[in-house]
Amino acid sequence: MHTGGGTDGNTVGATVGVATALDDLKSRGSALLVVGTVPEDVYTRVSACLLGGNGDADRRRLVVERGSGSDVRFDQIDRWTPEWTRILSVDLAARNSTADASGATGASDRLGPDGSSGLASPTAPPSPTSDSTSFDAYGGDRTRDDATVTVEGSIVDLGVEIGTAIREFDAVAGDLDPAELRVAFDCVAPLLSEYDRQTVFRFLHLLANDVRSVGGMGHVRVPEPFDSEIVRLFAPLFDAVVELRLDGREPQQRWHLRDAGLTSEWLPIDDGR
């Protein structure tokens, strides 16, 4: 990821600090919150960058999205077998009963001493409402459609499906290398339309811990301003917040690194990985 430059001593020092912090996030596993009210294509450019391009041959990718529209972040991907790429297309049913809400939030009680969650636990049951693709060998050329799985049901079903995919990526890789797994989660807005904030908060807590537990890098989109109430609520769950904006017609990004206590300058969005 491009981290900017400058000639001022303080600016250079801050830029080096941000670059160092980003390297640290890659080495130990991390979860990023991507925010800002920007056009869809601006977000997808950043998401493509975070997922890694076609030159990153050893990247395994999991994308959780609502619908299956045209998406530039898939243009550079040519490995569509499920051991390399999975797309979960989410169709959540409205389930606002007490049982369903407690089922989702109660998953936080399964957090282990190392911070890993029950969503990726070996004892997690398979989702009965999805058409999961197994890691069988495929013949012929595969496409994006072959890598897409539709997930229907509740937030609990979605959590189980994500946890299963992460666990299977780790198994087929024989333990994932740092930053080998890249995860994009685009469904916070539809979750908030179906569930209360506490339920979604706990779900994102588990998701972030599942990604970190295998040394992956995940990013979650919340299309709201950086200073909005919902961003302030969710930000502590993440290692960094990536703020997006349009400066005229020029898309820009600014990184807020929590542990390092650093904020970058406004930087151009490029295709660096």
Question: What is the per-residue pLDDT for 140?
Answer: 55
User: Looking at the DSSP assignment, which residues form a beta bridge with residue 10?
Assistant: none
| CA-closest candidate to residue 59, choices 17, 36, 26, 106 | 26
Question: What is the per-residue pLDDT for 31?
Answer: 97
Mean pLDDT is highest, among 55-69, 127-141, 197-211, for 197-211
CA gap 206, 200 in Å, rounded: 10
Question: What is the per-residue pLDDT for 115?
Answer: 38
pLDDT at 118 over 60: no
3-class DSSP state of 217: strand
Q: In the structure, what pLDDT confidence band is assigned to residue 36 with cuts at 50, 70 and 90? A: very high
Neighbours of 164 (CB within 10 A): 19
Domain ranges of the chain: 9-268
Q: What is the mean pLDDT of the chain?
A: 79
Task: Report residue 2 as tokens.
Answer: 């491009």
Burial of 190 (0-12, 13-18, 19+ CB in 10 A): middle
Concatenate the DSSP letters of all residues of 166-197 into one string: HHHHHHHHTSPPTTTEEEEE--HHHHHHHS-H
* Residue 85 CB contacts under 8 Å (≥ 6 apart), including other chains: 60, 61, 62, 77, 79, 147
The CATH number given to 9-268 is 3.40.50
pTM: 0.80
User: Looking at the DSSP assignment, which residues form a beta bridge with residue 218?
Assistant: 31, 183
pLDDT tens per residue, range 137-169: 445 577 888 889 999 999 999 999 999 999 999
Pairing of strands 240-247, 250-257: antiparallel
